Chains A and B, each alone.
Chain A
Amino acid sequence: MTAILHTWGAILLIALSSVIGDVLMARAMRQVGDVGHLRRSIGIVGVIWRTLSNPTFVLAVCAMAVAFFSLLFGLSWGDVSLIGPAAASLTFIGNAFAAKIFLHERVDRRRWIATVLVGAGVALIRG
C-alpha cells in the first residue's frame, strides 16, 4: 500500500512540476514576444538576452529541473512501466487544463480530442 502511494505521489509530483514548467515557459515567451519579429528588430543576441533575463523564464527552468530530477528519482525506485507513461500522459492532459485556466487559451473540441488521443497514445507507447 505504501509503495503504491509513493509511486502515485511521484507521478503526481512529476506531472505537476512539468505542467508548472510548461505553463510558466509559455507565459514567459508570451511576455518576451514573437521571437521571429524580435529577431528582425533587436537581433538574435537581443532575443536571447531578453529571454534569459525574464524572471518567469528562470522560474520555468527551475520547475522543469524539479520535474526532471523527480522523474529520475521516481524511475530509480519506482515501477518504471507505470511512472513513465502515467506521468507523460497526465502531463499532456494537465497542460491542456492549465493552458485554458492560467493562459486563457481557447482549448476547443479539436484540441481536447487531440490532447486525449495523444495522452492515451503516449501512455500505450511508453507502457
Chain B
Amino acid sequence: MSFRRQLALLGVTVFAPAGEAMLSHGMKQQGGVSLAHLFSLITAFLNPWIVAGVILLIAFFALYTASLSWADLSYVLPATSLGYVMLALVAKFALHEQITPMRWLGIALISGGVGFIAGGPTKTVRHEVVRDPQTAPQSAAAGGGKS
C-alpha cells in the first residue's frame, strides 16, 4: 500500500473521533438546543469547536469514501477502528477519566484486530466482464490494483 493510502486510512481513523469530540465539546458550550429555539443551531456555527468538528467530519467522510474506491469494505472498517481506542486513551490521559478493566480489554481486542488485518490484502482481486464502457478503465485498474 502506498504512503498516501496509508495516510488516508490514518485520516479516517483520526478525523472521525477527533471531529466527534470537538463537536461534542462545542455543543456542550453551546447549551441545549430545543425545537422552539432552532435559531441557536445557526449561531452554533460561530463556535470554533463546532466549526473545527464539522470540518474534520467532512474530511473523514471524503477520505472514507476515497478509501472505499481502492480498498474493500471488510478491510477499511476494521483497519480504521483504532479511533475507538484513541477516544478511550484521550479520555484517560487528557480528561483524566477512569478506564475500567473491561475497557482495557476492549482496547486490546481492537488493537489485536487491527494488527490481524494490517498485513492482509486491501482489495479483492476479481476478473470480471465490465459492461459499462464509461467505467471500464477505472474498474480494470481497481480490480487489478492490489496494493
Contact = CB atoms under 8 A, between A and B. Distances in A.
Contacts of A26: 68, 72-73
B106 A124 contact: yes
Contacts of A30: 68-69, 139, 142
Interface string B118-143: 01100010100000000101110110
Interface residues of B, number: 44
A124 B103 contact: yes
Q: Is the interface of B mostly helix, strand, loop or mixed?
A: helix
A66 interface: no
A22 B78 CA distance: 13
9 contacts: A26-B68, A32-B135, A33-B135, A95-B73, A100-B74, A106-B124, A111-B78, A124-B109, A125-B110
Interface of A: 22-23, 25-26, 28-38, 51, 57, 92, 95-96, 98-100, 103-108, 110-111, 113-118, 120-127
